[in-house]
Amino acid sequence: MLAGALDSLLRPGLPVRIPDAVYVEATRVHDAPGAEQIVEWINAHLDHVQIVPTDIGIDQQRRIEEGRAIRGLGELAAVEVLERFLRTESTAEALLLFEDSDIEKRRAIVDERVSLISTGDFLRELEAAGLIQSADYVLDQAAVQGRNVERQRRAAEDPAMRQRLREQLASTRPTVSGQDGA
């Protein structure tokens, strides 16, 4: 998040797992906007945030070394992490936060125990739960940093995703209720 609001990811009190390919996409160009902040944020929150290695990440590294394209590998790595997690945890549920609408097209690949939610809807639900002060403020800050946030400003067409997050936030609320808004 280019809005300086990475701590919003911690507000629900749930562990944050970042596929290695997503991490590389976000940080491999060290002077890219937000790359250094992402690295620093992860290092500051190693007790709650984990980079998860994937087979896709290994392929990504090979492609980078060979000068080949790596577009879309972050999404594939996210699906790989989810499939592995859900296979080993029979009662687990997961939340997949996305900005790229391509991930929505992969819904058939992802288990029904996974809620797909856009960054904008995630922020709106955090605001509704009183965990951040303003979703619009975070999106405005991202826009100032050059991000196109127009898609994130629109609510999802599938309200079931937001409802599942709302239920997760309600169940974790007591553990995070003392935190200030972002």
- What pLDDT score was predicted for residue 94? 83
57 within a domain of the structure (yes/no): yes
- What pLDDT score was predicted for residue 109? 57
How many domains does the chain contain in total?
A: 1
181 within a domain of the structure (yes/no): no
179 within a domain of the structure (yes/no): no
63 within a domain of the structure (yes/no): yes
64 within a domain of the structure (yes/no): yes
Residue found under tokens 């937001």: 162
Q: Single out the residue of 133, 135, 137 nearest to residue 124, CA to CA.
A: 135
- What pLDDT score was predicted for residue 40? 93
80 within a domain of the structure (yes/no): yes
pLDDT, tens digit only, all 182 positions of the chain = 455 788 888 888 888 999 999 999 989 888 877 788 899 999 999 999 999 999 999 999 999 999 999 888 988 898 899 889 888 888 888 888 877 555 555 554 567 778 788 888 888 889 988 888 888 888 888 888 777 777 777 766 667 767 777 776 776 554 433 333 34
113 and 158 Cβ atoms separated by less than 8 Å: no
Describe the chain by its helix, strand, coil percentages, rounded to 5.
Answer: 55, 10, 35
Range of the domain at 81: 3-173
Amino acid at 42: I
8 within a domain of the structure (yes/no): yes
105 and 137 Cβ atoms separated by less than 8 Å: no
3-state secondary structure 91-149: CCCEEEEECCCHHHHCCCCCCCCEEEEEHHHHHHHHHHCCCCCCHHHHHHHHHHCCCCC
Residue found under tokens 């029979």: 90
40 within a domain of the structure (yes/no): yes
- Phi and psi angles of residue 126, each rounded to the nearest 5 degrees, phi first: -60, -40
- What pLDDT score was predicted for residue 174? 41
